[in-house]
Every structure is written in structure tokens, then in C-alpha cells.
Chains A and B, each alone.
Chain A
Amino acid sequence: MAELTSLTIADLRDGFRSGEFSAREIATAFNEAVAAARALNAYTVETPDDALACADAADQARQAGELKPLSGIPLGIKDLFATEGVDTTSGSNILKGFKPPYESTVTRNLRAAGAGMLGKLNMDEFAMGSSNETSAFGPVISPWKRNDGGNAAITPGGSSGGSAAAVAAGLAPGVTGTDTGGSIRQPAAFTGISGIKPTYGRCSRWGVVAFASSLDQAGPMARTVRDCAIMLEAMTGFDPKDSTSLDLPVPQWEAGLSGDLKGKRVGIPKEYRIDGVPDEINALWDRGIEWLRDAGAQPVEISLPHTKYALPTYYIIAPAEASSNLARYDGVRYGIREAGSGGLEGMYAATRAAGFGAEVKRRIMIGTYVLSAGFYDAYFNKAQRVRALIKQDFRAAFQQCDLILTPTAPSAAFGLGEKMSDPLAMYLNDVFAVPASLAGLPAMSVPGGLDAQGLPLGLHLIGNELDELGVLNAGLAIEERAGFTARPEKWW
């Protein structure tokens, strides 16, 4: 029997169903892997008892012939999903000790599908970061190392850095992530796994700690495209408690999977050939085009003229929404409190100064500035107008193509500490990921290969609204051809 922690969700599910192994054996194997990998700092809370209890329930369900889609599968949960009675801190000191009295809709859906929980996964504070270095729990260390013989600690990406490291290191067969401007796709690319952000509104935001509400979207991260499809089906669905939840039936994404792309046109946006991107990234992109051509698709050059304005647009809109969303952390209802001086307002200001980290404060300040009297129209409304043009670019492009292929990130993973001193350099990491976020489109990263330093690189697929299946199928076509089997060598 193969080591259980190296199996995919589909293999675990099928092996469990056929009686090859029990759910308890699966949960035990992952619990042990989690406990042995604390050097990675991927989990902020471990919940082995939860995983075991759900496993026992799954073993009983199998005996009773009452299997659910994810029976027997233990998952890791990003620490910004509210989990009833289990610490939910969103990587921030300000939420220290917060135990939600309720369960997020996404995790409730996963539990209803039979999944158990291995623990909560480390992340950039309030999902604001691209390297996991803004977490109050300290950075996650990627299981990957450069092949230069050095021992430099590498970032797993962010903000879903703990999620990505957990899957790459075999500490969970699948995990939840969230993506506001690339936070599922960039860490997936950096760690050699797959991850999909569905269309905005597919996954309920209820019980997900809010960063930028018009952009935030949950999604799965796992080893394979099929595993992403399995998890996505269990996570999505209409939720009356989220005002932007899409009232649509959940498609059968797993059953619909096919790597045959005959008749599909794949758009290659010329604006994504940007200066300063390593040749290896562009070479991988070219290989991706050939793989999709081999799968029957026809590449077509497209134009997304406002691409270069996506990042500055994002860095107005996301901080603006964040400054508004994070106003709730005031030391009154949850989290920490600092008395400060100067009565109630002094308490608010002291609590927020003590509880938020530097990047979160920076974004609150930017957001407050662009929303303040006299600047709202020049910054926020201007950005929302440009966002409309970016959305329009994609609408026009999808008249000419069915899917879009780009690299996921402009580089492989970098070393911890290499970019923290320069916020703008850090923001540029999401240059390829942010436009699809601003347009609310489904998008996925799949592993494409390794760079010369032995670190993973990802390919990025963007689909039209609601066409997650098209994205998954193109991802599958790449997966079938890339032959990406590299795994990090265990050092932890």
C-alpha cells in the first residue's frame, strides 16, 4: 500500500470506499505527518481529535452504506474560515483567542460532505501579503529548497501559504484557500500544486474573515485538478446569508472532467509578455501553449489593453474595502484590547495599533486616504471606472476565445526576507493574477515544471464567468502533458 499521505483525494476516497484502508488510518497518517512537520509552521492550530472523530463517523457510515462525497477525507482549513469553537485568527494578533460561535458556510458544506479537519492553516495577516511573512504567527517555510546546495528558507507564497505548504508537504490531501488578488494561485504555483478560484459568488463569503469583499473568493488547493474539482463541488452552493452568493445549481465538475480541448480557442494575451520576466517563465508559457494545442485547442492572440493598470487599480480598491472591513476590530466585541489613554477613542486607537501588523496598517492607511473626503472621486471612483474597463477587456476577449492561458506568477518562489523591505516589489508578484480577480472570473494555477533552481512554476488559466469546467479541463490537459511529479525532498 502506498503511503497514505502521498495519495490524492480521489485515491483516498476510492481506496476508503473499496475497503483498502479505513478513514481512521487516513486521519492517523495525516495527524502524524502534521505533528512531525512543525518546522514548516504551516498549521496555527492542530485538531487531530476532530480529524479522528470525523474518520470514525466515516468508517461507521461506510458500514451503514451511507457514504458522502468526502467521507474519510481530512482537510486543512485556512485560518480565516470561522470554525465553531476553534481559534480563528486570520493570522492577526488582533483576533488572538477568537473562537467563533458559528461555522463558515464553506466549512459547514465540507463537513456536511463528510470531511474532517486536521487544523487551521497559517496565512498572511488578514490575507494581505504574497509571501506569508505578514502572519502574526511568523512565516510558513516552504517544503521546497533551491538545488544550489544552500539552505535558504523559501516562501510558499501568500496569502494561502500554510495551505500550499501543507499540500506540498503531504500534511493534508486538500485544503481551503481564499483568493482576493492571487492568494490561491500564486502559492499553488510556488509549491507545485493546483488551486482554483471560482467565479465570484460561487463560494459563500459568510463566515470568511473579510479582506476586500468585492474580490474575496474561497477555493480549493490540492495535488491534482481532479481533487480541486471534487473539493470545489463540496464547497460551493447558494447561500442566502451572503448577499452576493450566486443562486445557481452546483455543476458536476468532477463528472464533467475531460482533457480533450477539441474546438476550444485559447487566448494568449500579448500584454502579459512583460519586461523583466525571466526567460524560463516565458519558455514555460510557450510549452503550455503547445500542450493545449496538443490537446486539440487552437491558440489565438488576444489583447487585454488595460492589463498594466490592473495592479494600481487593485491597490486602491482592495485597501479601500479593507479599511472599511477592518473597522470592526475595535477591542469591544472580540480579540485583544489595549486600554490606551483618552477614553473610548484612545482605546480603539491603542488596540488597533497593538493588534495590527505593519502591512495591514499600511493598507488601512492607504484605504482610508483614498476614501477620505476630497479624494474619493480621484482615487476610489477612478479605480472603479478603470475596473469596469478591465472587465470590458475580458468581455471582448471572450468573444474571440474560450479560455486564456498565462503564467501564474512572474517568478518562482523567492527567499524569505528578500522582498519584505519593498512593498511595491511584493505587490508585483500578483501582476498576472490580479486582472481575473478584478473581473470576478474563475482562474486556476496548475504546475508546469521546475525552474533551473529546482523550484516549481505554474501555468494560469482564466475562464469566462461560470466556466469553471472549461478552466478545470484545460488544467487537466496541461496536467496530463506536463508530467509534473516532482516533490520536495523531506528535510523537516
Chain B
Amino acid sequence: MPVGTGDANALAMSVDTATVRHIARLARLQMSDAEVAATVPELNNILGWVEQLGEVNTDGVEPLTAVIDQQLRLRDDVVNDGNVREKVLANAPDAQHGFFAVPKVIE
């Protein structure tokens, strides 16, 4: 896939109210029209500032995935906890009959 100078063009975009509404929906954040309008220039300011990364030549550079080199460990495939339903539910805003209760999802 194209990297390096190609990214500079890819970064040169700005968000509008429709994009902000879409992102807010993906992030599950309810926003009023006024909040959406206020968010547009804020995001564009920050996105405009991070666009300077387009100047950096990253051709052939792999994205960093582990900041300190180490092997992912495997653990034994055994049950190591459980039987703590009361504890799991203790902080729930609405716990009923030993379950988390949520608004109805099936009519």
C-alpha cells in the first residue's frame, strides 16, 4: 500500500458537520446541533496540526506494535476464576435476577 508522500495527500482532509455526526454516532456520544457545530472547528484544528506527519518519510517503516520487545506469553488453558457473580454485578446501575438489565432490545 502507498506510504510516505502519498500519506500527505491522504491526510489533507477536513471534517464537516455530517462527518462529526457520523463519528459521534460511531463513538456512541449524543450531541446537540450546537455541540456538533462547536466540534467541527475543534477537530479541524487538531487534525490540521497532526497533518505535519505527512512530511515524514515513512517508506519501508513498519508500524510500531510493541514498544519494548517481548514475546506474548501463553497461559495454561484452565479456569482460574469465576463464581463471583455478586461482585461482578455489585456496581451495575440496574442488576436484576443475577443479570445486567438493559433497555428492551427485542420487540
Write the residues of chain A forming the contact surface with B, with a CB cutoff of 8 angstroms. 97-99, 101-102, 199-201, 214-215, 240, 243-244, 246-247, 306, 308-309, 312-313, 315-316, 323, 327, 330-337, 339-340, 343-350, 352-353, 356, 361-362, 364-366, 368-369, 372, 377-379, 381-389, 391, 423-424, 438-440, 465
Contact = CB atoms under 8 A, between A and B. Distances in A.
Given A332-B100, A388-B62, A349 B50 contact: no
Contacts of B31: 353
Interface in B80-107: 84, 87-88, 90-94, 100, 102-105
B53 A383 contact: yes
A379 B23 CA distance: 15
A423 B58 contact: no
B59 to A, nearest CB: 9
Contacts of A98: 91
A340 B23 CA distance: 19
B28 A349 contact: yes
Nearest to A214: B67
19 contacts: A200-B67, A201-B68, A240-B75, A247-B73, A312-B52, A315-B46, A334-B91, A344-B105, A346-B103, A347-B102, A349-B29, A353-B31, A366-B47, A382-B11, A384-B65, A385-B64, A387-B64, A389-B61, A423-B45
Given A99-B91, A353-B31, A424-B49, 19 more contacts: A101-B88, A200-B68, A201-B68, A246-B68, A313-B50, A316-B53, A327-B28, A335-B91, A339-B103, A343-B103, A344-B102, A344-B105, A346-B103, A362-B43, A366-B47, A382-B7, A382-B58, A389-B58, A423-B45
B94 A99 contact: no
B11 A378 contact: yes
A379 B50 contact: yes
Interface string B20-64: 100111111111000000010011011101111111101001111
A383 B54 CA distance: 10
Nearest to B101: A332
Most buried by A among B29, B52, B56, B64: B64
Interface of B: 1, 3, 7, 10-11, 15, 19-20, 23-31, 39, 42-43, 45-47, 49-56, 58, 61-68, 70, 72-73, 75, 84, 87-88, 90-94, 100, 102-105
A350 B105 contact: no
A465 B56 contact: no
Contacts of A388: 61-64
Contact of A364 (B29, B49, B65, B67): B29
B53 A440 contact: no
Given A335-B93, A336-B93, A365 B56 contact: no
A199 B39 CA distance: 36
Contacts of A200: 67-68
A203 to B, nearest CB: 13
Contact of B73 (A243, A345, A369): A243
Contacts of A244: 66, 68, 70
Given A344-B105, A378-B10, A369 B23 contact: yes
A339 B92 CA distance: 14
Contacts of B72: 243
A390 to B, nearest CB: 8
Contacts of B49: 312, 315, 424
A333 B11 contact: no
A312 B50 contact: yes
Given A334-B91, A465-B68, A379 B11 contact: yes
A276 to B, nearest CB: 16
A361 B50 contact: no
A348 to B, nearest CB: 4
B1 to A, nearest CB: 7
Contact of B63 (A97, A199, A339, A381): A381
Contact of A353 (B30, B58, B91): B30
Contact of A201 (B65, B70, B87): B70
Given A312-B50, A332-B102, A353 B68 contact: no
B36 to A, nearest CB: 10
B10 to A, nearest CB: 4
Nearest to A364: B27
Nearest to A345: B28
Contact of B67 (A379, A383, A391): A391
Given A349-B30, A378-B10, A465-B68, A385 B62 contact: yes
Given A243-B72, A368-B26, A389-B61, A423 B3 contact: no
Nearest to A343: B103
A385 B29 contact: no
B50 to A, nearest CB: 4
B56 A309 contact: yes
B50 A368 contact: no
Nearest to B54: A382
A202 to B, nearest CB: 9
Contacts of B104: 343-344
Nearest to B94: A337
Contacts of A308: 52
A129 B39 CA distance: 18
Given A199-B68, A331-B93, A332-B102, A382 B53 contact: yes
Contact of B56 (A247, A306, A316): A306
A215 to B, nearest CB: 8
